[in-house]
Amino acid sequence: MIGVIIPCHNDKLIHDTVARLHRQPCEIFVVLDRITTDLPDYVHVVKNTEGDGFLAGKCRDMGLVEAEKTCDSFIFLDDDCAPQEFIVQAHKEWLDLDIPMITIGRRLEKQYNWRDLREYSNEMSSLGLFDSHGTMFNNASLLKKCMGIWSCNFGINRKAVILVRRMMEMYFNTAGRIFSPAFDGKWGGEDSFLSYIAWSCRINMFYLPYGSNAVLHQDHARPKDKYNLDHVDILNKEVTSLSKKLVTEKLTPKFFVV
């Protein structure tokens, strides 16, 4: 079974999001981040009542822990996304493979004339944050690149979750999480660091082809002035730290076996 995990910091559009998922082959888990709202009975509700700032990563981890009780693979969406009617099946076909797998769907941005985000990433390349393929990298000196996970539409199976958690615990003393606590309370960056963790774990990452796997961000506030602020600095720091540790510490093949 697929579990769809949605952190919810603003209930403006969450009801439309879960309604679009209702008849798809999945269980829905909504993590309410210090808010209250009434949701349908078919939605599993998880509540986060602590913390300050933007806690999307923490909430996704809380939802993952709950979803693991009944599900084997997981899809992450944002609370303002309008998913297409076959999005779960599109991810499932790859997540069901018996290998550590991450699937990356597409997203469309309403405020950017409904263009695919890959076009948008070309614009952002001038800031040194993205290359033409939409992958994020350290804009200082680090050359190793991250695959471009978008937290609003990606899937991960249990084998990949095990590897990411093992890496996080081994190198950052962070048990039970796949999203780094370094980004808790900040805007953005947690999905890009997860990309680098997954790349470091040799996890298979697959961009789903264009089709029924896209989501539309209906009201996704994007504070452009924050692109060069703290979350990018944290990303560079965390990626650089992990890169140095991977170079100086020898990983045994057993580490990557699940």
| Structure confidence at residue 229 (pLDDT) | 54
The two beta strands, 43-48 and 101-104, are unpaired
Please work out, in degrees rounded to the nearest 5, the angle formed at the alpha carbon of residue 162 by the alpha carbons of 50 and 184.
25
CB atoms within 10 A of CB 195: 25
Q: CB of 109 within 8 A of CB of 218? A: no
Q: CB of 61 within 8 A of CB of 37? A: no
Distance CA 216, CA 106 (A): 9
What stretches of 79-142 adopt beta strand conformation (E)?
81-83, 101-104, 106-109, 115-116
Contacts with 245 (C-beta within 8 Å, 6 or more apart), sequence order: 171
Tokens of 7: 């952190």
Own/partner long-range contacts of 42-51 (Cβ < 8 Å, ≥24 apart): 42/18, 43/18, 51/184, 51/185
| Structure confidence at residue 61 (pLDDT) | 97
Amino acid at 37: T
Q: Token match 């998913």: residue? A: 83
Question: Closest by alpha carbon to 78, among 174, 150, 180, 171?
Answer: 150
CB atoms within 10 A of CB 98: 7
Q: CB of 60 within 8 A of CB of 36? A: no
Encode the chain (258 residues) as per-residue pLDDT tens digits: 999 999 998 888 899 999 999 999 999 999 999 999 999 999 999 999 988 877 999 999 999 999 999 999 999 999 988 888 889 999 999 999 999 999 988 777 655 443 444 444 444 444 444 333 334 443 333 333 455 677 889 999 999 999 999 999 999 999 899 999 999 988 778 888 898 888 888 898 888 876 667 787 777 655 444 444 567 678 778 877 887 787 776 555 445 555
Q: CB of 158 within 8 A of CB of 72? A: yes
Distance CA 105, CA 212 (A): 9
| Structure confidence at residue 5 (pLDDT) | 98
